[in-house]
Amino acid sequence: MTKTWSVTDSMGNNHHITFQKGGFGGAKCIVDGDAYKMKSKNWVIWMADHQISIPGAECNLVVVGNKVRLAVNGTYLEDGTPYEPIRNIPMWVNIMTLLNLIIGWFMIGLLGVCITILGDLLTFNLCLKKKNSVALVVQILLLVFVIVGGYFIQKALGTF
């Protein structure tokens, strides 16, 4: 995935900013031919907020999953909304994600993993929108569903 922008600084000079995402999570930001390696802030979902300093303009390259946006002087170029730094996903979300995946796999199998992944995506989205309490409720409900649903499914199949 590659995305390119052209930014004009306060002195009228054009600068080319390119985001390239390589295989296995490797990504780099290229500013006027100089490459800078980017690193994710989370081990489950790819998140990065890379600050780019060019004369006369402060730029932030924000990546969350497959969504790549560039903010120049506090405003995103795509839609003109104000720039907000991305929030770190709380550690409890990562732990609950892993716990739900493991329990979902052992209780329901592949169906449990699929249901858990959908719930986890919702949880990450809620955390990025600063709705941590709702995300916690979603994770707890997901855990209860996987355990109780897994129990009844295994009982119905006669494997419990």
Domain boundaries, the chain: 2-76, 91-157
Rounded CA gap, 26 and 46, in Å?
10
pLDDT for position 71: 92
Residues with Cβ within 8 Å of 127's Cβ and at least 6 positions away in sequence, in order, are 87, 89, 90, 93, 135
Q: What is the pLDDT of residue 58?
A: 87
What's 82's DSSP letter? B
DSSP 3-state of 99: helix
Please name the residues in contact with 39: beta carbons below 8 A apart, sequence gap of 6 or more.
48
Q: What is the pLDDT at residue 90?
A: 84
Q: What is the residue-level pLDDT of the chain in tens, covering all 160 positions?
A: 789 998 887 788 888 999 988 766 578 888 888 888 888 887 777 888 889 888 888 889 998 888 899 998 888 988 888 988 887 778 888 888 888 889 888 888 888 888 888 888 888 888 888 888 898 899 999 989 888 888 888 788 777 6
Decide if 111 contacts 155 (C-beta within 8 A).
Answer: no
